[in-house]
Amino acid sequence: MRVRREEYFEIHKVRRIYNRETGKFIINIEYSTAVPKPTERVVSVAEAFGIGVDRGRKFTLYKNAEFIIGPTDIVYVTGDSGSGKSALLRALKRDIVEGMGLSVVDIEDIKPEHEKPIIETIGRDVNDAIHLLSLVGLNEAFLFLRPYEQLSDGQKYRYKIAKMMESQAQFWIADEFAATLDRDTAKIVAYNLQKHARRLGRGAIVATTHTDLLEDLAPSVHIHKRFGREITVKYYPNRPASECSLVREMHVCEGSIEDWRQLAHFHYRSHRLPSPRKIFSMRRGDEVCGVIVYSYPPPACFGRRLVLPKMSLRELNERLSTISRVVIHPKYRSIGLGAKLVRDTLPICGTPYVETVAVMARYNPFFEKAGMVRVAEMSGDPTIRKAVEELEAMGFERYMQTSLEANIERLNTLSREEVDRVKEIILEVSQVYYRRLIGGEKIYAGKEDVERFIEEKGLEGLAKIICRIAILAQTKIYLFWKNPSTDAGG
């Protein structure tokens, strides 16, 4: 390959050998530097250092460098900028395709769709999309509805990892791996990359100047490249990291309502809490990383009769707690903190039984990982589902019905007759839900209570009721936990 005079740098020679029987790569890479087009300053430098303007130099990056890499290896390439990491990745990428005959996806080749909610740009269907996004920590309801360009750098990188998982390619390749991320987020991304690659039986090759990801990436092959020909290759057992290194810096302790308020805006439900029994927080130094709220149980709950005998309200309050909120700071999602927070607090919540009703349990089974048992699943009542469909026909997009602002905006565009029709749709819902539609402030609520609520609260009250109908329509999972120390007669 000839070097044009105006170029400063160009790969001059690449020689690669891949042995299928041994899985060994042998790489030789040389590059040339060329003197740029002569200018007054270039000539001055050439004269000062005694070099010819037409003279180039050749350097060797890799000389018979040997690497043994299998289809499921996690390869960590480190070294200073300019040491040859990118050149090695390109050579390995080509040999994986041509020599090993395996498919490759390069994170740089992923071109996200813009102006569409990310939930529409990944997965075979909505369930598959939520599953993939949840695996990389993008499991916040509001994130699903954001387009790619509105994500943070860390969220964009996690999204691209989800797209790599979706690709079905055998090898995932990423140059400048997590280079734009803060170091905590980089460790979380590294931990998730190796965890999911190993779970899916994939291989990964990443290159970066940072050497602080060894524990979280848990590579089976570590290549450290220095300037010149010097290179170090180490091999390790191909085992996943047991946990993200950041988890060891966190502890669970008694929390407060103020801890909940710090993270409440990251939860997809309202900030209003049922009466709390106990609150626990997970902290990293002075930072609140997660919060769990245990509340007193409601008088009735689907699924409960499958695991507990009929009890008086007093007995329920004494023996049963309800997990009403679990929220993890978005930065720390996808490293198992939800399961840890539940698992560590179940035995100290103060009651022998614990229940929870969750929507996200369909996609992220962290309650089950913490030791709770899935008991029952319930879709929305037929009258609730009908209301959602009729509201959608009136322009209330189904995926936006849980947004108070979106509902108010739509209501403001309706005529008086259309607003009256919205009220009729609401009142066609089964009366057993009226109490919940107006906020649960009364033990019993009838039609006149709903009408009074709407009259007093106006369009904002109507918008809140639409939000609550949308939440009631979601498929929910009932989960239960019994303290092992509770006797059989319990």
Give the tens place of pLDDT for each residue, 67-121. Answer: 888 999 999 999 988 888 988 898 889 889 988 899 999 999 999 998 899 999 9
User: pLDDT, tens digit, for every residue of 240-270?
Assistant: 999 999 999 999 999 999 999 999 988 766 5
Q: Look at residues 169, 156, 239 and name the one whose alpha carbon lies nearest to residue 198.
A: 239
For the record, the structure tokens of 163 come out as 């797209």
User: pLDDT, tens digit, for every residue of 282-301?
Assistant: 999 999 999 999 999 988 89
Q: Above 60 in pLDDT, residue 5?
A: no
Quote the CATH superfamily of domain 70-245: P-loop containing nucleotide triphosphate hydrolases (3.40.50.300)
Check residue 381 and give its pLDDT: 85
Query: What are the backbone dihedrals phi and psi of residue 67, each rounded to the nearest 5 degrees, phi first?
Result: -140, 135
User: pLDDT, tens digit, for every residue of 326-368?
Assistant: 999 988 988 999 999 999 999 999 999 999 998 877 777 899 9
Q: Above 70 in pLDDT, residue 379?
A: yes
- Calculate the average pLDDT of the chain: 87
C-alpha–C-alpha distance, residues 90 and 29, integer Å: 11
Query: What are the backbone dihedrals phi and psi of residue 382, each rounded to the nearest 5 degrees, phi first?
Result: -55, -35
Question: How is the chain split into domains, by residue range?
Answer: 70-245, 250-379+476-482, 382-473
Q: Above 60 in pLDDT, residue 11?
A: no
Check residue 4 and give its pLDDT: 38
Please give the full DSSP string across 94-114, using - where no structure is assigned: HHHHHTS---EEEGGG--PPS
Query: What are the backbone dihedrals phi and psi of residue 248, each rounded to the nearest 5 degrees, phi first?
Result: -65, -15
Strand partners, 386: none
User: pLDDT, tens digit, for every residue of 12-41?
Assistant: 455 666 777 767 777 776 655 555 667 888
Domains 70-245 and 250-379+476-482 in one fold? no
Residues ≥6 apart with Cβ < 8 Å to 266: 140, 327, 328, 329, 330
Tell me if the domain spanning 250-379+476-482 has CATH number 3.40.50.10320. Answer: no
Higher local confidence (pLDDT), 228 or 414: 414
Check residue 81 and give its pLDDT: 86
User: pLDDT, tens digit, for every residue of 142-175?
Assistant: 788 889 999 988 889 889 989 998 998 999 999 9
Local confidence band at 312 (pLDDT 50, 70, 90 cut-offs): very high
Local confidence band at 53 (pLDDT 50, 70, 90 cut-offs): low
User: pLDDT, tens digit, for every residue of 174-209?
Assistant: 999 988 888 998 999 999 999 999 999 999 999 999
Q: pTM score, two decimals? A: 0.78
By percentage, how much of the chain surpasses pLDDT 90? 54
Q: Cβ(254)–Cβ(266) under 8 Å?
A: no
Query: What are the backbone dihedrals phi and psi of residue 19, each rounded to the nearest 5 degrees, phi first?
Result: -100, 110
Check residue 73 and give its pLDDT: 95
What number is the average pLDDT over the span 447-471? 90
